[in-house]
Structure formats: structure tokens, C-alpha cells
A and B are shown apart, each in its own frame.
Chain A
Amino acid sequence: GNSVTQMEGPVTLSEEAFLTINCTYTATGYPSLFWYVQYPGEGLQLLLKATKADDKGSNKGFEATYRKETTSFHLEKGSVQVSDSAVYFCARSSGGYQKVTFGTGTKLQVIP
């Protein structure tokens, strides 16, 4: 079936460090790919998305590129802030109104 695998957390970084959170997906069909973020005590917010190969999603300094050849959608940010501390979920859907399948989530803690 469809699945998403992302790196285990927690990830602890100092402020202004470079962030990478790895994510790979099953290549069934032509999925849309997403990163959702969950801040402490809050719900899921869409951070960015990409709908086809080589698309780059970006938002709030975060980026992820849809790589079909490696079935990956790694999340990156050049300089993290304390306010980026949250749980990040990689996700996929088969497009349209189909259900979203989530990875296990990666907790990021940024320390001053």
C-alpha cells in the first residue's frame, strides 16, 4: 500500500543551524506530497506541498523538492529559529480528494 517513511526524531539543533528531515514515499501512481507542521498543543498546519516531479514547495524559509528518481521529499531550512520547534509530518495523497497518508512525524527542538 501507500506509505511514507521519515527520519526518526527527536532532532535537536542550535538556532541558525541547517535543517534536513528526510522523507521517502512509495511510488504508487503520481502522488501529491506534503509537509505538515504541528506546533505544541495545536493542530496540523500545511507547511508546503508539491504535486509533480521536480516541483519545489516552499514556505516560511522551508523547502522540499519532489524527487521521483529517489522517491524522496526531504524538508530543508537554511537557518532554523526557536519558533520552528514543532513536529513535522511528511505526507502523501494519491491526488484529488484521496486520503492523506502520514509519516510518523519528526520532532524538532531548536535551542537558543
Chain B
Amino acid sequence: EPEVTQTPSHQVTQMGQEVILRCVPISNHLYFYWYRQILGQKVEFLVSFYNNEISEKSEIFDDQFSVERPDGSNFTLKIRSTKLEDSAMYFCASNGGTDTQYFGPGTRLTVL
């Protein structure tokens, strides 16, 4: 069964550093998303992406964040200058045009 994959599974970085989280969505899907889950809290929407542009973004997704689909398979989330409060689990999801999003296993980001 096709699945969304994410790398790395755990990323540790120093405050102020740039990080790039990578996702490979399901191959025939066209809609892509990033969510995050701060430890012990709810899963929050960050951004949706379709046709090479952002469809919607939340207030969390400020100028420090960017997304890109650099080739036909990867979908990345970049945090330009990480802050302590960016420590969270980041989930990528993709959607083939139905009402169902399929989530990857997540990348745990730890900012020291």
C-alpha cells in the first residue's frame, strides 16, 4: 500500500539554524500539507500546497517558514531560523483529491 514517507525521523538543531524537513507524498497525489504537534498538544495545520503554490496557511506559518516541491517527488518544509518553540513533531500529508489526507510518520524536531 502506498504511503507517505518523511526524513529524517529525528532532527536536532541549534537555535537560529536552518532546517529542512523532507517528505515524499504518495505518488499520484496532488495536494500536500504540513502539520505540527507540540508535545502533548493537538495537531495543528501549518500549510497546504497545490499546483506549485500555497493554497492556505495558518498564522503559525510566518516568514520563517517556506515550502517547496523541488522535483516530482519531494515536498519540503524549511524553517529559516529555528526557535526553541519550533520543537515539535512535524507531519506531512498528501491527498489524491478525495476528502482523505494520508499522513507520514513524522519528523521530531528538537531545537536546543
Contact = CB atoms under 8 A, between A and B. Distances in A.
Contacts of B102: 46
A97 B43 contact: no
Nearest to B50: A97
A51 B42 contact: no
A101 interface: yes
B74 to A, nearest CB: 18
B110 interface: no
B43 A44 contact: yes
B91 A43 contact: yes
Interface residues on B, range: 20 to 34
A96 B45 contact: no
Given A43-B106, A97-B50, A99-B33, A49 B91 contact: no
Interface string A90-106: 00010111011111110
A92 to B, nearest CB: 10
Contacts of A34: 100
A18 B58 CA distance: 38
A104 B45 contact: no
Contacts of B43: 44, 89, 100, 102, 105
Interface in A37-82: 42-46, 49, 51
Contacts of A93: 99, 101
Contact of B105 (A42, A89, A96, A103): A42
A89 B55 CA distance: 24
B56 A51 contact: no
A104 B50 CA distance: 27
A99 B42 contact: no
9 tightest CB-CB pairs across the interface, nearest first?
Answer: A43-B105, A44-B103, A32-B99, A97-B31, A102-B43, A99-B45, A104-B42, A43-B106, A97-B95
